[in-house]
Chains A and B, each alone.
Chain A
């Protein structure tokens, strides 16, 4: 197995899917000759030609709308929106059409498109380049929303997303694009869309997170173990919508303590839904109120102050201590 960055792993997924299925078409701004501003589509235009990798004019709504037409026809478009901050120009196409075409036509048409877009902070970028707005998409019926957290699951989830018959918003944590490498098998690997994953076992509390926040969450979990002998169970949500509550509900029934960590603003963030599911399905197992460690309900700050906004291992650790220090027997 080769050790790959997330950029390389995503590139592998695209290349292999394009090799085995002529219906897979890439389109977006600078995805061809330039290989994408983050190089995720590097080399693909050379291998597959301009018919398979389209450098489009600069118009996000048209990239999404054209992808819908291609998908209705029967192709599998994978479009790239250069930064999620510009994806809002696609919103009416995704909400009004991509997510509804199957329903509207009683199953005659469906829209198997994947909209890839880098999200989140931590790369010292300009305004509109650091937001984490998964709630917008996750709130849309008919749409699926996936966020990987490392090279290996990014590759496997992207392959599954391309093959999925429903439209998928695929958020790529840009802070992790080149942050670390993982073994990624050359042979085909998929992961189910709509399933969360237990990534660290523990008995004392449950940490629920996804995307770029998985790193500080796992770091906090190992600090907790090393420093205080507290064993945190960690769950990677992976698919924000449709949300799989089975694994985290099971975990919290076991640990009785839960926290949710995300970079998105707190109010109405994915944490609100996750916690509600816990109230519905694990309330009587809870020892203490649930904690949220999230972005604040403000604009993503410009980069000199973004560390104050983005949750880090220390914030997560402090919240975990608040959770575990309160004991019923004290």
Chain B
């Protein structure tokens, strides 16, 4: 009965294919069709430009608080691009480009961030969940969705996103544990952007990586350069293929960086240095991917400019449409909708009460 080392077979890899200097590891380069590469590039630019526009609208008082995404486009786009539309997508709230990729309209963001629930409506035929604000709580829903897909004998997989802060939550650990025990086809994606509001990754966990937490639950884990879309795509492809063929769940840690604030109500200068931000700006996921596509002959300066103007036009059209749509969204009686399948009698009474209040308010108003 000696004291001896327990051999844990698992290990954790780090994957980087295209680094921030544009150096490419051709052995690892994934085989992505050209039209997908270009679609991904456009989606990254759209995500970035729309994020910038939203920030601009927020500063002008034309939308309320929102959580910007700039800098994290490769971390969620490389992942989502691997999914089929019948697969399930469970977002947190910092996956702007991925949500657009999955069909969410730009104008729905503007209406939603103007406080209209209509902006969170989800198309009947989509398999996207809504944003989940309570950090990490959505991880468990992915386990249930994936379990159900397996029970119904489909080949659907479920992909769920969360941040580094979420990995401190019980629901993260419970979710990975359940996923491991039930071997569900789920892919857990941590966008480790280094900051959970003001708390740095180093104060979130003593672990060297987040990816290694997978090992405790008996599932594969991998850490990838989250600003390298070739690496995020390759890691996602591997995990999705495994899940689809019955190999169970995977945890992927995408190391990335939130270039701006947690939400528009946050001032990151209180807790991090400009030097750090500058350093990460040099690792911008779009710049290196653009260079890669230029070298491949898929992008030219003209094409880059064309894409940018088309994207800006699309955004402007969406802003115009949303502002038009919102003119018809004022009805306060809407607050009683969708609470239950069928409105219970007491709610009908309360709805009538509000209708009376509104009528009386109008009457008082007109009487001076």
Contact = CB atoms under 8 A, between A and B. Distances in A.
Interface of A: 25, 51, 54, 56-57, 59, 61-62, 64-75, 77, 92-93, 96-97, 101-110, 141-142, 144, 164-166, 194, 242-246
Contacts of A68: 140-141, 144
Contacts of A244: 345
Contact of B120 (A97, A105, A164): A105
Given A25-B151, A73-B144, A242-B347, A61 B134 contact: no
A220 B341 CA distance: 38
Contact of B174 (A59, A107, A242): A59
B345 A61 contact: no
Given A103-B117, A108-B122, A69 B341 contact: no
B158 to A, nearest CB: 8
B344 A194 contact: yes
Contacts of A242: 340, 344-347
Interface residues of B, number: 47
14 contacts: A54-B182, A57-B177, A62-B140, A62-B143, A65-B144, A66-B178, A73-B148, A75-B148, A97-B137, A102-B341, A104-B130, A108-B122, A110-B341, A242-B344
Contacts of B145: 69-70, 72-73
B229 interface: no
A275 to B, nearest CB: 15
A105 B144 contact: no
B223 to A, nearest CB: 25
A74 B145 CA distance: 9
Contacts of A69: 140-148, 158
B171 interface: yes
Nearest to A74: B148
Given A62-B140, A65-B140, A103-B338, A70 B147 contact: yes
Interface string B321-344: 000000000000000011111001
Contact of B178 (A62, A71, A141, A243): A62
Interface string B182-213: 10000000000000000000000000000000
Contacts of A97: 132, 137-138, 141
B299 interface: no
Nearest to A59: B174
B181 interface: yes
B117 A104 contact: yes
Contacts of A164: 341
B118 interface: yes
Given A71-B144, A244-B345, A105 B137 contact: no
A124 B152 CA distance: 43
Given A69-B147, A245-B346, A92 B140 contact: no
B339 to A, nearest CB: 5
A62 B181 CA distance: 12
A70 B347 CA distance: 28
Most buried by A among B171, B182, B340: B340
Nearest to A165: B341
List of 7 A-B pairs having minimum Cβ-Cβ separation, nearest first: A69-B144, A65-B140, A73-B148, A242-B344, A62-B174, A106-B121, A69-B141
Contacts of B143: 62, 65-66, 69
A70 B148 contact: yes
Contacts of B122: 105-106, 108-109
Contact of B338 (A56, A59, A102): A102
B170 A61 contact: yes
B178 A59 contact: yes
Given A62-B177, A69-B144, A243-B346, 19 more contacts: A59-B178, A65-B143, A65-B174, A66-B141, A69-B145, A70-B144, A73-B144, A73-B145, A96-B133, A97-B141, A105-B121, A106-B117, A106-B120, A108-B124, A142-B339, A164-B341, A166-B340, A242-B340, A246-B345
Contacts of A105: 120-122, 130
Nearest to A62: B174
A106 B111 CA distance: 14
A35 to B, nearest CB: 20
Nearest to B133: A96
Contacts of A96: 132-134, 137
B345 A65 contact: no
A109 B346 contact: no
A104 B148 CA distance: 22
Nearest to A107: B338
Contacts of B177: 57, 59, 62
A72 B129 contact: yes
Contacts of B140: 61-62, 64-66, 68-69, 93
B92 interface: no
B175 interface: yes
Which of B118, B139, B158, B339 gathers most chain A CB within 10 Å?
B339
A102 B177 CA distance: 28
B8 interface: no
Contacts of B340: 102, 142, 144, 166, 242
Contacts of A62: 140, 143, 171, 174-175, 177-178
A77 B338 CA distance: 21
A57 B181 contact: yes
B331 to A, nearest CB: 14
Contact of B141 (A65, A243, A245): A65
Q: Which of A74, A96, A108, A166 has the most CB of B within 10 A?
A: A108
A194 B148 CA distance: 29
B134 A92 contact: yes
Contacts of A243: 346
B123 interface: yes
B255 interface: no
B46 interface: no
A102 B129 CA distance: 11
